[in-house]
A and B are shown apart, each in its own frame.
Chain A
């Protein structure tokens, strides 16, 4: 009853709380919070509310920000449905990215097929990177949080080693350019968004959202997954293969993150990179999954929200509002979600008050 309503209300209140807090911080630095909101509006719609001017490039850049965190969000959410906390989306993404660079550089195929192979390689690598901690959890009950964190570092250093020593770089930080057949950017998408980096990656991303929703909600596989996530012993009693379920769920979660790595590699960039550091997509994914209540639809919406926040950073900076405000808002939304119990309580109090007011009003 109230629970279902709260599942929607709590994130909304948390988001509201995050923005109010962000606005207060902006006020504290002596600037106008309205400028911040207008920056976000502009970043996601391309319309400058002050001048009425429209720049589709902003929309393109905003969507580029949304894509990877939508995938890492899916990754975390998917694992969570089977009761696992996937802190390793970052590492799975890097693994996917590393594999993609290899296929982009050394496999020759016609356009279309080449990109497809690259995406598949990324998903496979990410999937393996997720399956291993899943297997350790299922087989030896090693906690997935510990293993996935460690594997983030392994992926990171492995990526740098592979790019430097195996693939080879031209200047110590990047490989040669990928062939045209390997990239997702194209002149059409770029031209309709006024020269943005917008690329075809949005197609696999949308497919991933649909597949994840379908798998979890509609298939027998998802039924088993959810059962394991809610009550492992109960699932075992019913004859479900709990161990297999855990490994598969981590593998699929890893594949979503790996796909994000591929899309960044051949969409946003067109060459392999020696990563200077972890880029935080995994953490963003956790935030997105949390706000999206671990459902595909929720993740879709939450990724758009956080993508808009990220995209707004540049415009905020131009208007001399510190770009860190965006991170503060994101962090406080997550914090408010974590205070779900408190918000539930508040909602209960409020509806009681309302009830009481009604009751007293109707008394003769």
Chain B
């Protein structure tokens, strides 16, 4: 079998860390090749080298047997290599077509031939079943669609080798199924797919072979059909991983967080949450599950104070906080792991140590008389980095932007759990995390529960909801349509409720 891509003995250093240490990756033509590894193992780095974003310090790359020097993404494009990044790179007020042809505009005389461009885009879209409307604006379409635009962009440039960096981290389960189908269609047409993902199930479902990295080193490449999920997890973490969370039954106390008859407007200016009520007790985890876009985001933002409410009450320890500012809520003991880590959770241009005190920087020991104590801030960072195993090249001084996606998420989780607030809104806490980190984060959330904290968990991952929650509230159309005992329900029952079939509120 011929290899389309051979990356041989690739090494890449960043300040303070060897991100890739003599890694060899060989990819067969027409296959789906998965890349698996812990957060910060060097997956994105390796793929960025293949796409010409970074230059390796040593090692060589062969494309279709010929040694090449991929000095920048244009060279990669020329070789038929395309990449969909972990965070998309689209122009938001441009249309789909405009984004796709950017830099390669077909011309008629001096003007751009939009008609021809749009026709070509539609044609490719139809061929691979992408279902993209070429004329809608990026800002008006969802994440799943935006990702398809990125795929179209590659195909428009005649890419033969398609790199996907954690494409499913931002997708809903429905969209994931569709993406898997698209990938299969792509290889069916003779393309080659390189897929980075932390979800072993996805690898099992679509990939032919899987290369595992750990701390910058190659652990091995295995045929997926002959390797179990457990084995792959073990290869990547270096120990056995417990997929199911062990926890004692909850001992719920008094109600800490109570939401009453909440109405919240969504972005389109209609009620996204309607007359929603729920309560979370001390020492329990209430999971909210539902299909994406059924009011979860609005609910989170209303409770945490990021958006105003129309009507209702939000009681924290019996005090109505519905009109309070974010600062007051934080001080009253509300924690928040936000959905969108780049928009809300982090100041990417700050150092890691600064991000870890973003709520507490004005208080002792981090400041005295309005003057920051960088030593205390640094010590705090050292402690959290150690405790939560945040992989960062230069400790607290690491620029947050340079950290791997999963480690950025770990930093947020570390900060919020460490504050140990009495009530906590936890949204998609393990998005983009490796299985080892997921196991640890789940343990910590449960430990918070056991110490008597009230936790509201919002997640699109049914497994996570079922594993971690004590009770599960299903949200549909902005309302809670059912509250179930997590131990006595399953995916099927939840699935029905999520789709909108009625059930009496327990």
A interface residues with partner B (beta carbon < 8 Å) = 1, 218-221, 223-224, 226-227, 230-231, 233-241, 352, 355, 359
Contact = CB atoms under 8 A, between A and B. Distances in A.
Contacts of B306: 236-237
A262 to B, nearest CB: 26
Given A218-B371, A220-B367, A221-B370, A237 B350 contact: no
A218 B372 CA distance: 6
Which 6 A-B pairs rank lowest in CB-CB distance, beginning with the nearest? Answer: A239-B327, A237-B344, A238-B358, A230-B349, A220-B362, A239-B326
B287 interface: no
Contacts of B326: 236-239
B343 A233 contact: yes
A239 B354 contact: no
A236 B305 CA distance: 10
B188 interface: no
A1 B71 contact: no
A236 B327 CA distance: 9
B325 interface: yes
B336 interface: yes
B349 A223 contact: no
Contact of B359 (A218, A221, A238, A355): A238
B15 interface: yes
B370 A234 contact: no
A237 B336 contact: yes
Given A220-B362, A239-B359, A227 B347 contact: yes
A260 B358 CA distance: 34
Interface of B: 14-15, 55, 58, 71, 304, 306, 325-327, 329-331, 336, 338, 343-350, 354, 358-359, 361-362, 367, 370-372
A230 B71 CA distance: 31
Given A236-B306, A239-B359, 11 more contacts: A219-B367, A220-B361, A223-B361, A226-B350, A227-B358, A230-B347, A231-B343, A231-B349, A234-B346, A239-B327, A352-B55
A1 B350 contact: no
Contacts of A241: 325, 327
Interface of A is mostly: helix
Given A1-B14, A230-B349, A234-B345, A219 B371 contact: yes
B370 A230 contact: no
B372 A220 contact: yes
Contacts of B346: 231, 234
9 contacts: A218-B372, A219-B371, A220-B361, A220-B371, A220-B372, A230-B347, A233-B343, A236-B344, A352-B71
Contacts of B330: 238-239
A256 to B, nearest CB: 19
B347 A234 contact: yes
A236 B346 CA distance: 11
Nearest to A234: B347
A238 B344 CA distance: 8
B361 A230 contact: no
Nearest to B366: A220
A241 B306 CA distance: 12
A219 B349 CA distance: 18
Given A239-B325, A352-B55, A352-B71, A223 B372 contact: yes
Nearest to A241: B327
Contacts of B362: 220, 223-224
Contacts of B343: 231, 233-234
Nearest to B326: A239
A230 B348 contact: yes
A6 B338 CA distance: 33
Contacts of A219: 367, 370-372
A233 B304 CA distance: 13
A241 B349 CA distance: 19
Contact of A1 (B15, B327, B329): B15
Given A226-B350, A241-B327, A352-B71, A234 B344 contact: yes
Contacts of B347: 226-227, 230-231, 234-235
Nearest to B374: A218
A234 B412 CA distance: 12
B58 to A, nearest CB: 8
A235 B325 CA distance: 13
Given A218-B371, A226-B350, A227-B350, A237 B345 contact: yes
